Structure 1
């Protein structure tokens, strides 16, 4: 006899083709019904509230009077909550966001009464290889997942899933989804007509006699009559024993079973679509999210940590609110962009609002920091902040407003700093300074965007420079004509409109790099779909201008293309170029770094298309590497399952379209090519160019869902709704870098990657401020370092601990090899902790691939400051 574990649940999309306002209203009535029925019948329950505490946060906004009733049901184990704050995506969203999601979910569960100790991921569009690591760090050793699994990965639907760092969780798959037993009849005879078929499918790949029966669906009412119906079936048949259960009881029943082991990611769309197109849908949302995640975790929180130790308050709740609002945009539909236009606008608005709040916190804390610094030189203070835990030289982007032609920037000893103007324009200062807005005279200043050279920046700290107006620069600026971008490592040339790059270290030359390729997209917000007969146009022959510029710190080449292209899918079918795609690309080669910085700007006037930039690697290997949350993953260039997906009737093609956090590379022992991006999350290995990295810059489609696409046959995903905003017409900008590899990804290479991804930031104390604050009366040094951590690990964050007056410092192993790493050096007690910020028993002298390392730094008593 097989034991069938009834799991009653709801799956709660906060938004999708409907808004969060819609779902919150429905939630009010859903929860009122659940509470009333659980209170009226103590035999009912437990009910799984979708594994995310934001459901209750939303509910308490509209029904605060019911809070105590809900807490009583949670404490009694009849409502199961957590462990997540929101049901987050794992492939597009960043590592710190996933960490904070579990951290805030855990905090909510502690407040509300209990936490479901299972990593429940019912609807993520594919599963990260790092999920077991994240769960294990939060003392969760069991997971339930849906999309992405098939028997080509691991034969059974129950298995031990290991991450590369050695973490493992016992995992159960819902092979036919969380809604496979939705809307069951409450009449036993009627139910028995449908249940055997459901149970046979559920047990098809099972390694045991335990079967999961998830009963619930999207925003569906509580099916309170099902348990009694199953009790009746227990009396009428002997093939199955139905039990009112939950995931914990199910896993207890699995104990003693010998389960297969698996390591890796689960991206197989055999039984259910994983929608590979979401990695590039609404690229503006992806960029806004990456910008916010990186700024908060790697710039704002470190700055707040520094000034907190200097005596200023740490606005912890304000920062937590930024994270919570961002996480409301991190669900699979939300961050995927596979929503109605109105919802996508709300998703982006949350991220934009978070960026505004984070930027204002950064500005005000820089202002308060500058206020307390005793000036060493004449002039306006410029604070250069280095969040990385080691001393470094940097190139700092800085915007200045100066009244005259000349200005000088000096360090604390009065020595001039070098800089070069990247862009300059006239600025009406009444737009910037509120005090000038009522003046009858326009005050014009020069607005100068600079690249500033900063030397010996303190680790996790700052130094102060000074802007002296109406003074000579103090150095001889470099300028003049050039015909190539060249430094000690690289040489870039342009020949008949085609770009070539030479790595002087290896002698390797790449021809025709950075080719723009624009093809049709007959897909929707869920999936890229190649048209049945695609017609691609390229940047070849479309170059209209090339401007070379010699600079003091970096040389640049600005290329402008006017590419004749089809305006929409119909024109593409007719091979009709009835529009222009105007693209500008600025290539910058720093004099002191072996990387090529690339800025792309365009005016998107086309519809139903995909724009990629192709970068040949000339690598003959069958695999490549990309980054994932807290690590690197190796992938096949061409998935082997492409040979069988149509024959086996998969729901979607396992195309060679892949997610990345920010990095993808191909290399062998002698040379290679790496692309690092700022918010671009998708790359492709083209079937006809297996040694080429095609980075998706922009994807334009006009439908939420469509049916019968070549790579996704059958029904439409989501809703068949027009989505004109997803065409992303208008200005678009993106930023990435090329880093040629010499003899593999060594420590120098990884340091270059980190320095590009996490630049030092500059801030000018102009004396003008949108908001004023009273003097705080504190005094700060002109240069300061909070701590140092001389490590090959990459910096993840420095922030205040979730609980207590301490700091959390985190890094992670970016490569595939074991790394040695000492403890950080800082004032106070330093202890290793998990991502959950719980203490570890032993120090780690080595760090596995794909592993994070976190430290709790407890200030000495005399160094403590109230938050």
Structure 2
């Protein structure tokens, strides 16, 4: 029998920001790195240090100690400092599929600059992991993952439960994605601190190792025992070589060694038993009591999730496609700026950051970062659309003089009709053309001509055109000083013809008497109707949604419920037996706010009275560090009124109902949800996750005792009975629950709490989210389930606005209407079209959400060579000059490379 080996791996799990703000944590990071470099230089027995799997720690250190770069690089090349493969340790469920890929690709590319990186999928403290992680890792050449959560219960202060509720009898297991890809999974069964602060005195060492050896042997499937010598923000253990030497003297039948993951994994793989337990798909603590899953970080500080989803969509779904189209037509791809924007965004993606479970100062800085990304994104969108429109032939139909071209670009990858709302400069006068004090009055006094919108064929498009006043503006030309001006503006609304996937169409604002508008969307004051849906609003603000295609009607949906939340940023908890407050039956003020041929809107206003906060007894519980599971506290008897303004909007060709909620939150310690009863009889539901529309049970495992069974979603969740379905897409609302006999979808629109909630008492008053709040979602009824009905196309249509650009009349090599890339989705889900990170090739990525093989067809307009690639953009297999009807296996992620696409 092989000798027992204790592999001691030094590390410090570095939450970049958490219970201290970033700069205070960085202060200790610099101290740690200084101490590490000194130790490595002076003690050859201190073998190596695992730098937490993320390269950003190096960036943070070098900003303070740039002179240490060469020394750090030397130790990385010698494998004494182990880095990568990630850029940051990112939350898995609250960041997009593509954000997870960019994190890996950028991290690996950054690591390569230093010469070495760890080929370990490192998820030490990730709050659950998406089911496609093994497939992602395998495509990146990584065959092992290490993680601390998702399989075995962990509780308060990350205490590991000794429970039978353990999906694998070993800390080593086979972790498999839905497509069949698998990696060796290593669970930190005794947490990633089980070898922390190893004693170097004999008396203490005996007690330490007696317990630690027993704990590790209990779950190890091989003679190789893993000891993680570190913890959160752990300083360096400088006497570790002495402690290891002592352990070897005390236990001659065990080899204690200062090891690395590379060494440990190699020896474990050579000693594995013939059969390991297989864990399939998501790691979400399914077989636990449900009290410490940390799932409610999905609803902590929802404003952060909303800002993040907006930023991700701009980078993935707008800028990258637009920049790709411009690159295909001879323009430079903004790779450096895009990478910089991605890195700025990903600095908000660590689990304690995007999860909203840090102190207020951390999240204040996150808001600033999001705003910076937003600024960069808007300028990049503006630049790329200007480059593209300059190449398009915008010559107007001959009969229209003074036409103003409006080019609408569709970056979704799916055909779509869309409603455009655009403020147009009707006339612009520069300060150089007229004394500026006279310009405003001159433009204001001009009467508005008769205007309408026509398409490129000269056919009139029903439009609503309103005067929008005179506003100051300025141009920033490339070749001269800034050019201030005033412009007379109009607001134009119209519905496009069907736009091709990855295509565009040109419309013109022209001087012409408009034709009589066709039927308006809103009828009878409480009804919205188009060819697909009929929405009727009741007196209490609930509404029926009739799917005119299937004939199925959802009845009395859209009420709100409010309960207490005496938990924390990590976990929701309401008082036992408490009944929710509801708007159902509460008289609402209902009025039509918009009604034309393109769009109808109805506003619903509730005066919703709820308790102003939890009872003051909650404060005593927090002071005593009573875990959320064991708390009981009433709601205050004092009441406050939330004025809930709900706007229902139905566009002309929409297959879903857009809903926007706005209110001033004046209450604390509560959770507000919108409720959609469906009546569907089903035991499961679907939700979007990373490269997956995942199937989840409506009821938890038998071990679950938490009254709540909340889940993560990326941008939609869906219920179906096989005949009919309801999918609700959201913008940054990432928590939902299936309730009421498994037939009702409840989506959290606000959660307000007062403390961080981990190892001490950290008040977080800003987590109460007081003040003005908004939430947006999209109600999509359909036949069948979300996959067979392709409801995800409508969900993404809601997420991604078409881009409308005003330009001038000019010639161009691109046609007036056109398409940049053609493809047939055939039930595949598009996630990315972009240029390579390190090559000039284009990459096109899709995944198959179903259990059936699908076919992929792509056609680039130019002569290119197609090849099979992977998530890290390697060239695997040349295909040739045509890519037609190639199979995509069940649940597979496919990346197609295009060589010579420029």
| TM-score, normalised by the number of residues in structure 2 | 0.86
The CA deviation at 1:676 is 1.1
Q: Could you tell me which residue of structure 1 aligns to residue 383 of structure 2?
A: 364
CA distance in 2 between counterparts of 1:419 and 1:733 reads: 28
Which of 187, 211, 234 aligns to 1:173? It is 187
Q: Match of 2:768?
A: 727
Q: Tell me which residue corresponds to 1:763.
A: 805
* Pair 1:28-2:30 in alignment: yes
- Residue aligning to 1:287: 306
CA distance in 1, matches of 2:602, 2:204: 72
Look up the match of 2:615: 570
- 2:219 equivalent to 1:205: yes
The reply to whether residue 407 of structure 1 matches residue 409 of structure 2 is no
Q: Deviations over 1:347-403 (max 9, x none)?
A: 121122101111111112223433444431243332211113455443334333557
Worse-superposed segment, 150-159 or 163-172: 150-159
Give runs of aligned pairs for residues 30-45 of structure 1, distance below 5 A.
30-45=32-47
1:17 is matched with which residue: 19, 23, 31?
A: 19
* CA deviation map 1:221-269 (0-9, x unaligned): 2213223322222222245321221112222222242222120211216
Unmatched segments (≥5 aa) in structure 2: 153-164, 397-401, 428-447, 617-632, 880-884
**8 Å CA contact 2:127, 2:293 repeated in 1:** yes
CA–CA distance in structure 2, aligned partners of residues 456 and 503 of structure 1: 21
What is the aligned counterpart of 2:824 among 764, 785, 790?
790
What pairs up with 1:413-492 in 2 under 5 angstroms? 413-420=457-464, 426-427=468-469, 429-430=471-472, 445=488, 448=491, 450=493, 452-468=494-510, 470-474=511-515, 476-479=517-520, 481-482=523-524, 483-492=526-535
Q: Is the 8 A contact 2:46 2:240 kept in 1?
A: no
For the 8 Å contact 1:625–1:633, the answer to whether it is kept is: yes
8 Å contact kept, 1:565–1:576: no
Give me the whole-angstrom Cα distance separating, in 2, the residues matched to 1:82 and 1:335: 21
Alpha-carbon distance in structure 2 between the residues aligned to 1:236 and 1:443: 84
Mapped to 2, the partners of 1:693 and 1:194 lie a distance apart of: 49
- Residue 89 of structure 1: CA displacement? 0.5
Matched residue, 1:266: 283
Aligned length: 826
1:584 matched to 2:584? The reply is no
> What's 1:109 paired with?
111
Q: Return closer, same or farther for 1:601/1:400 CA change in 2, 3 Å cut-off.
A: farther
Partner of 1:332: 351
Could you tell me how far 1:12 is from its partner in structure 2? 0.9
Question: What SS does structure 2 have at the residue aligned with 1:587?
Answer: strand
Distance 1:180 1:449, change over 3 A: farther
Q: 1:664-813 to 2 correspondence within 5 Å?
A: 664-686=717-739, 688-705=740-757, 717-745=758-786, 746-765=788-807, 780-791=814-825, 792-813=827-848
How far did 1:615 drift? 0.4
The two structures have a TM-score, normalised by structure 1, of 0.90
Match of 2:200 among 169, 172, 186: 186
Q: 1:285 & 1:577 partners in 2: Cα distance?
A: 29
Higher mean alpha-carbon deviation, 281-290 vs 836-845, is at 836-845
**Shift of residue 118, structure 1, vs aligned partner:** 0.7
**Structure 1 match to 2:331:** 312
SS at 2:645's partner residue?
strand
- Return the offset for 1:431: 6.6
* Structure 2 residue 508 is the aligned partner of structure 1 residue 508: no
SS in 1 for 2:824: coil
Aligned to 1:538: 582
- In 2, Cα distance between equivalents of 1:655 and 1:637: 11
What's the offset of the Cα at 1:7? 0.9
Q: Residue 875 of structure 2 aligns with which residue?
A: 839
**Contact preservation (8 Å) 2:322, 2:381:** yes
The answer to whether residue 234 in structure 2 is matched with residue 220 in structure 1 is yes
Hey, what's the Cα distance between the residues in 1 that align with 2:363 and 2:78? 38
Structure 2 vs 1, CA of residues 240 and 730 (structure 1 numbering), >3 Å: closer, same or farther?
Answer: same
Q: 1:604 aligns with which of 665, 668, 675?
A: 665
SS of structure 2 residue aligned to 1:696: strand
State the Cα distance separating 1:425 from its structure 2 match. 7.9
Q: Is the 2:414–2:793 contact (alpha carbons within 8 Å) kept by the matching residues of 1?
A: no
SS in 2 for 1:685: strand
Q: Does 1:394 align with 2:457?
A: no
The answer to whether residue 79 in structure 2 is matched with residue 77 in structure 1 is yes
CA distance, structure 2, for counterparts of residue 118 and residue 737 of structure 1: 39
Relative to 1, partners in 2 of residues 1:787 and 1:444: Cα closer, same or farther, differing over 3 Å?
closer
Give the Å deviation of 1:189.
Answer: 3.5
Classify the secondary structure of the residue corresponding to 2:149.
Answer: coil
Q: State how 1:339-378 maps to structure 2 within 5 Å.
A: 339-377=358-396, 378=402
Verify: 1:660 aligned to 2:726, yes or no: no
Q: CA distance change for structure 1 residues 418 and 51 in 2, over 3 Å: closer, same or farther?
A: same
- Aligned partner of 2:257 in structure 1 is 243
Q: State the partner residue of 1:710.
A: none
Kept in 2, the 8 Å contact 1:149–1:175? The answer is no
Other-structure match for 1:648: none
Change (3 A) 1:702 1:798: same
Name whichever of 167-176 and 265-274 sits farther off. Answer: 265-274
Could you tell me how far 1:820 is from its partner in structure 2? 2.1
